[in-house]
Chains A and B, each alone.
Chain A
């Protein structure tokens, strides 16, 4: 046996090493890497017996299809989802959340229609609510978009590895992303329900607070918004609205967004008596861009075929149907209050929030999906 190399300089953190030959583990990891079954990072070797531990977490048949891509004639089964969750480093008890994520992605719809192959280079974002967060150690607080939490890191990664291995969406082949986004490695966050003044996302959709849920969205980018300068709710909300309405994201006539508010920002609104709905209404009313600005960037019309924004003198151009505000000369960038969703996440330690630039549904309800509890093992 080869001795383990210790990753820490602190003798108190070393502890007992497991009695396995790391050389054998390395050989297995290299085998997976050589076959291209990875996202570039090493994956966890998965055996039949280990897959069985994942499959024991669900009543579903291993051959059930969790998501299809008809244009590729490829289908992901419960079993393929389990194998890739194992490869990603999930523990078996995370698997009900992974399955709920697949069901939410299916309901959301864009993955099945091929968005993961687009040059746009989107990533799936998973939002987890309910008691499962604590049960499996999902982070909803400090560094929520960052590293350091196995459940967040590996549940998000399970989706990516499945996209690569089950659907064959390898970069520069069937995945045509021009640049992609760092979120393609993994994007799974939990809502900080404990520090939020409002009801959590899944209960807005009619589930009980005691239910757990996953809500999948397709996103293009995650924009940092640092606002420690004001406690006036209108000023803070306009800062969000201004970030949402940047022209670079205005590919179509309207866009959609998810506000991930730090608790501190959520409480600014709550203290002023604003509900989540009040905030969404205000954002809908104020997220706007000037007609002159649209003209300046060559986005003052839309294509008659694709409805993408383009210059008014383009041969395919037709006028958009956005209504101009007579007082401000601006047009709205959101088509409804439903086009902006709101959750609370992150530490309660500063006025730092994020605007997630999502893609569709522009105004439809989010794909909130209940996590089915694991079957009770026979006594």
Chain B
């Protein structure tokens, strides 16, 4: 199943390092500003709306 990884920007370096460990340096993933855990439902929806175009771009969905 086509998948896109999403993490907060605090984990950008770690995510890049893990991609390198698995042999995919430059692997594309989506970041969103930290933190997420303390957001309410409305704020979460807003975040998703913000990064969804990036998710679709990585998936290769053409508008």
Q: List chain A positions with a Cβ less than 8 A from chain B.
A: 72-74, 117, 168, 172-174, 176, 315
Find out whether the CB atom of B14 lies under 8 angstroms from the CB atom of A72. no
Most chain A beta-carbon neighbours within 10 Å: one of B11, B13, B14, B22:
B14
B49 within 8 Å of A by Cβ?
A: no
Min Cβ gap B19→A in Å is: 11
Interface of B, helix, strand, loop or mixed by DSSP: helix
Interfacial chain A residues near B17, Cβ < 8 Å: 168, 173-174
CB distance B41 to A174 under 8 Å? Answer: no
CB distance from B31 to the nearest CB of A (A): 14
Q: Which residues on the B side are within 8 Å of A74 (C-beta)?
A: 21
Q: Knowing that A174-B17, A176-B11, A315-B41 touch, tell me 15 more A-B residue pairs with CB under 8 angstroms.
A: A72-B21, A73-B21, A73-B22, A74-B21, A117-B14, A168-B17, A168-B21, A172-B13, A173-B13, A173-B14, A173-B17, A174-B14, A174-B18, A174-B21, A176-B14
Q: Which of B1-59 contact A (CB under 8 A)?
A: 11, 13-14, 17-18, 21-22, 41
Q: Tell me which residues across on chain A come within 8 A of B11, comparing CB atoms.
A: 176
Could you name 18 residue pairs across A and B whose Cβ atoms are closer than 8 Å?
A72-B21, A73-B21, A73-B22, A74-B21, A117-B14, A168-B17, A168-B21, A172-B13, A173-B13, A173-B14, A173-B17, A174-B14, A174-B17, A174-B18, A174-B21, A176-B11, A176-B14, A315-B41
- Residues of B contacting A117 in the complex (Cβ-Cβ under 8 angstroms): 14
The 10 closest A-B pairs by CB, nearest first: A173-B17, A176-B14, A174-B17, A72-B21, A173-B13, A174-B14, A173-B14, A172-B13, A315-B41, A176-B11
Q: How many A-B residue pairs have CB under 8 A?
A: 18
Q: Which residues of B contact A173 (CB under 8 A)?
A: 13-14, 17
Tell me the complex Cα distance, A176–B34, Å: 14
Binding site for A on B (CB under 8 A): 11, 13-14, 17-18, 21-22, 41
Q: How far is the CB of A64 from chain B (nearest CB, A)?
A: 23
- List the A side residues contacting B14 at CB < 8 Å: 117, 173-174, 176
In chain A, what residue has the closest Cβ to B40?
Answer: A315
CB nearest to B10 among chain A residues: A176
A226 to B13, CA, bound (A): 42
Taken together as a complex, chains A and B put the C-alpha atoms of A72 and B22 apart, in Å, by: 7
B21's nearest neighbour on chain A, judged by CB, is A72
Shortest CB-to-CB span from A316 to chain B, Å, is 11
Q: Which residue of B lies closest to A117 (CB)?
A: B14
CA distance A168 to B20 in the complex (A): 12
Q: Cβ of B18: which chain A residues have Cβ within 8 Å of it?
A: 174
Query: Chain A contacts of B22 at CB under 8 A?
Result: 73
A residues near B13, Cβ cutoff 8 Å: 172-173
